[in-house]
Structure formats: structure tokens, C-alpha cells
Structure 1
Amino acid sequence: MRIEYHRTLIADHVRNEAFFRALKAVIEPGKSVVADIGAGTGLLGLMASKLGAKEVFLFEIAEVAGVAAAVLKANKAKACHLIPCHSTEFRDKLAVDVIVSETLGNYALEENIIATLADARRRFLKSGGHVVPTGITQYIAPVITPRIDEELRAWQGVGHDINLAPAQTMTLNNAYVRLLQASELLGGGRSAVAWDAIDLTRDTRSKRKGEAEWRLSKPQTIYGFATWWTAELVPGVTLSTGPLTPRTHWEQLYFPLLDPIEVKSREVVGVELRSNSSEAGGTHLAWAAIHKNAQGGVLARQSLDLDKGYLP
């Protein structure tokens, strides 16, 4: 893994300050023991140390663990223990007051934060301890501008009477990391609906599903859907990747459609989403768009699946 990726994390001051505020809220100087899971270059673990944590255990399995070790040494960090394995593989006894994990992706669950925190909470967390973040809410909104849709339909413009439709279909069965402006979303982004809410302080499923729908007040063309998330780090401290909040290094996800949907006034457009993330199987995403008439009758349905977007 290139160090450049970790530089983008360190450069994300919105992210860094949110986690600093969250850690400050839950660390009791001289008493709290902290586990930083997915420590990267060690920033959050060092923050915990600077805030007075009694001990900090930093879990990191990637090559960047070597960088973290050098960073800890450069900062003369005492009582900071780098553990070069995934926390789920750690079998020694550990009792901590705070578990912090910034294992969040553009799609919130792609780094398996649900399973990772569930394991750490059961095996490491003292009674009355804190988990950071405490929860994640996932949002979705229709995209009403053709910018990304046109980009993805390049297969149609090759000319010379050549049909590349099979490749076009594969392209559309993918989710894309893109930065969207609020003006590209229905209602300027304020029409976003929460399709999933995850409580990380208790056991919950890594398989997620949800739905949303919108009744349009005027005719509109829907080209796809944009998703993002908001994480509650601790009560009163949140971090969001949405288009109406301060920008982070994360961007939104764009879910295409096989064909844009022409929606008339009073008609309804809806979406259903399913996801499953695991260490062994990776991330699977599927989505379906439903176009309904004003009375609620289904006019058309489009189903897409990330698994159909991979080359065999």
C-alpha cells in the first residue's frame, strides 16, 4: 500500500478533528485504556496518548504498521503498544475502556467495521466502556443531472456501426466513487432519505437492506442515486460524507440506472438496496429502481447488481 493513501487521511482535518473531539469526550486522563483498531500511521492512537490515556493498544496488519512504529518512536510515545495483527486474530487477554476504529470507506461498511467492532466489543471492552463510532446512518437521494450518466455511456458513442451493449450493461452494474454537488440531487440534497441505521454499540447484522421513495411535485428525469453516510462518533460529535456538510477525503457513491427514468408530476420513484460485507467475501451491493404512477401502480423496475459488473 502506498503511503499516499495515508497522507490523504492525515490531510483530512474534518475527520481528524471530529475523532479528536470524540476521544477527548470519552478518555479519562490517567485511567482510560484505549484500543485503536486499524491504526494506520498511528494518528488516533497518538491522539489518545496525548489526551492522557493510561495505555494505548494499536492494531494494524498492513505494511503501514512499520510506519506507525517509527511514528510512535519519533513522538516518544510511552505506554503505546503496536500489535501487528488484525484485532479479530488477537487471542491474548485485553480489557479496555475505549475502542476507536476509523475503518470507514466511501461505502461505509466496505472495511467490515460492523464485524470488527462487534468482536472487539465482546472480547476487549470493559463494562461501561465506549465504542467510537457509536453508529452509522446511510442516506440516499436521486440524481437529477446527466453528468455522470453521460460519462458511463461512452460505449454507445464509439460509432462505426459497432454494438458494445454488453460492455455498457456491465459498466452500469457498478457503483462509482464520485463527488456530487448538492445542486445535482433532487431537492438540492435536502430530499435525502435515511435507508439504513446501524447501532455499533450492540450486535447487528453485516447484511444490510433498506428502501426509500420520493413523490415528485414536478416532472423530472432521474439518472441514478447518490449515497453517503453520517457517523455518530460519540453523542454530539458526528462526521458526514454528505454533499451539504464540510468536505472530507471521502466522496459519495453513485448508483447508475440501466435507463434514466422520466418521472411525471405526482409520480413516485423508489429504490431498494442490499449490501453484504465480509473479510472473506468482500463487499456485495445490489439496487433496484422502481417507477410508480400517481396511484402507486408499478410502471417499471430496474434491477442492478455489483456482481454483474465484474469481468468473469
Structure 2
Amino acid sequence: EPADVILADQIGHFGFEAGLFDYFSDARRRFLKPSGVTIPQRITFCIAPVEHEALWEQVEFWNGSPAGIDVHSARALASNTGYPVKLLPEQLLGLSVEPFSVDPSTSGSQPLHFGCTLTITRTGTLHGLGCWFVAQLSPSVTMSNSPLREQRVDRRNVFFPLDRPVHVQAGDSVTVTMQILPVQIAVTWKVEIRKQDRPEAEHLRFSHSTLKGMLIAREDLQRTHPAFVPTLTPWGRARLTVLTLCDGIRPLAQIERELLRRHPDLFPSLSNAATFAAEVVTRYSA
């Protein structure tokens, strides 16, 4: 019988990292009544300008030569990484903004795009962006890891650094454009700082992405080159077999037997083939 409620307690630091969107989209399609609800019902993303010298030193560390070893090549990776941290209210340089809200059960794997403008309210050094979530559990109940809440859930926030610190003062503005790729667990953040004492031509601009902060093997990088000629792995061929056999005529039991017949080296038994087929079918079939 279809369910009335589907619940997830893993949200991540910024509201999307724990696979919540894929989980809810699949669960809504397969298990939930049309009138059913998910908990949380909505996820709201929150952003604030942050001063955090200690975290910034973790980025700048890679510009040095610890123990006489030149590690500066890792500096670009460090500045394109999100850092889990439990932010404190006094580390915020301005009010937080809630630029985007989404229903995690219908968003799926689609990229999320949003932007906002943050206003600096005190003099300090801008090291990056502090981000957290507000989860709508019911029409009257929310849960958040916001550093501004007395009853925050014990879950860290995430800090996205700038390539270099910027001195700011009250009245300056920080324009943020952000893209989230839920499946890849990747975030791109572009920042423009408008300082009151500088003309528009001297606005400071930064562009970062956690995709640039990933260590990618040479072989994997070669696979992204336009001239690369891809071929399927044995497991890729098995997946293709299942998808090809989903022709609207064959029942699942027949697909499982044919999968085992074509790929006996991958599946020692019909039970193993059935498990693999079920994973493919539940993800891709209508």
C-alpha cells in the first residue's frame, strides 16, 4: 500500500549533500500516495558573509613551503573547496539571506541556480561565504543549523572561501551567484564585491567551483577530452542489456534470466542478476 509520509533525517550541511533530492524523487514516484507528504517538505538555502581567519589559514597554508616542500600547486584546490564548520554569530559580517527554496521531492537531479546580494553591516575582513539550511518539517515546524538560532541542530555549516581576503566596511555589498549540482555534490560560487569607496570599474570579482577542487586521476581527465572514444565496461554493458530489454513487452522475470544468460561472468546466480536488474529498472523505468 502506498505510504502517507516519507521521512529523511540526512540533509547535509547546506541541505542537499546527503542525496536527499534523489532519494525523495524516487520514493515519491514509487511509494508515496498522490496526497502524501515528505518530511522535510522544503529546503531553504541560506547565505551570509563570513570573517573566519582560522579557516582562511587552511587555504593559505598551501601557499607556503612546510618542511621545505613546495605545495603551492594545491592552493587552487584549497580555494575551491567547501569546508564544514560550526559558525558563530560573531563571525558573520552581515545579515543572512535566504535566496532559494526547493521541494526536495520534485527537484530531482536538476541543477539549482540562484543569486542574492549580501549587505555588510560591520567593518572586517571578508574571507568567504557561510551557508546553511532551513528544513520545513511541517507548516509550523522548521529545523535549521543556522548559527543565528538558539536551538540549532547540531550539524555543521559549510564555508566557501574567496581566493583572497577583502577588507570591507558597513554599506559594502556582496553579490553572489550560485549553482548547485545535487548529484555531483558540487557547488559553484561567483562573488562580486561592491565597495562604497571604489568606482564600479574596480569592483572585485571571484569565481570558484568545487569541481575545480577535486583531485582527478589522469585517466579520468582523459575521458573528458572531446577526442576520447568511449567504450562500455562489462558493468556498463550489463546495464545496457537491462535498458534494451525494457521494451514494454518483456516482464521483469524474463529480463533477469536474459541478463544472467548474457553476463554469466558478472552474476553468479539468478538472484544476483535480479538484484542488479531491479536497481536499473527502478531508476529508469516508467
Pairwise TM-score range, normalised by the shorter structure: 0.5 to 0.7
Give the whole-Å Cα distance in 2 for the aligned partners of 1:109 and 1:183: 26
Q: After TM superposition, give the deviation of residue 194 of structure 1 in Å.
A: 0.8
Q: 1:224 aligns with which of 103, 116, 128?
A: 128
Q: What is the match of residue 172 of structure 1?
A: 79
CA gap 1:159/1:250 in 2 versus in 1, 3 angstroms: closer
Q: What is the match of residue 208 of structure 1?
A: 112
Q: After TM superposition, give the deviation of residue 298 of structure 1 in Å.
A: 5.8
Give the whole-Å Cα distance in 2 for the aligned partners of 1:219 and 1:127: 51
Give the whole-Å Cα distance in 2 for the aligned partners of 1:226 and 1:171: 16
- Give the 3-state SS of the residue equivalent to 1:248 in structure 2: coil
Give the whole-Å Cα distance in 1 for the aligned partners of 2:67 and 2:24: 54
Q: 2:204 aligns with which of 300, 304, 307?
A: 300
- Fraction of identical pairs, as percent: 28
Q: Report the TM-score when normalising by structure 2.
A: 0.67
Q: 1:290 aligns with which of 176, 192, 209?
A: 192
Q: After TM superposition, give the deviation of residue 273 of structure 1 in Å.
A: 1.2
Q: What is the match of residue 156 of structure 2?
A: 251
Q: After TM superposition, give the deviation of residue 297 of structure 1 in Å.
A: 5.3
Residues 1:271 and 2:271 are matched in the alignment: no
Q: Counterpart of 1:271 in structure 2: which amino acid?
A: V
Give the whole-Å Cα distance in 1 for the aligned partners of 2:138 and 2:23: 18
Q: Counterpart of 2:57 in structure 1: which amino acid?
A: E
Residues 1:138 and 2:42 are matched in the alignment: no
Listed one character per residue, the Cα deviations across residues 164-186 of structure 1 (whole Å, up to 9, x for unaligned) are 33211211110011111111111
Q: Counterpart of 1:249 in structure 2: which amino acid?
A: D
Higher-Rg member (1/2): 2
Residues 1:120 and 2:22 are matched in the alignment: no
- Give the 3-state SS of the residue equivalent to 2:185 in structure 1: strand
Q: What is the match of residue 146 of structure 2?
A: 242
Q: After TM superposition, give the deviation of residue 119 of structure 1 in Å.
A: 2.5
Give the whole-Å Cα distance in 2 for the aligned partners of 1:203 and 1:227: 20
Listed one character per residue, the Cα deviations across residues 133-164 of structure 1 (whole Å, up to 9, x for unaligned) are 11010101111231211232222343688653
Contact 2:5 2:32 in 1 (8 A): yes
The alignment covers a number of residue pairs equal to 213
- Give the 3-state SS of the residue equivalent to 2:154 in structure 1: coil
Give the whole-Å Cα distance in 2 for the aligned partners of 1:266 and 1:296: 15
Give the whole-Å Cα distance in 1 for the aligned partners of 2:66 and 2:106: 55
Richer in helix (by share):
2
Q: After TM superposition, give the deviation of residue 299 of structure 1 in Å.
A: 1.3
CA gap 1:205/1:155 in 2 versus in 1, 3 angstroms: closer
Contact 2:48 2:118 in 1 (8 A): no
Q: What is the match of residue 100 of structure 1?
A: 7
- Gapped regions of structure 2 (runs ≥ 5): 217-286
Q: Counterpart of 1:275 in structure 2: which amino acid?
A: I
Q: Counterpart of 1:104 in structure 2: which amino acid?
A: I
Richer in strand (by share):
1
RMSD over aligned Cα atoms? 2.4
CA gap 1:267/1:283 in 2 versus in 1, 3 angstroms: same
Give the whole-Å Cα distance in 2 for the aligned partners of 1:220 and 1:232: 33
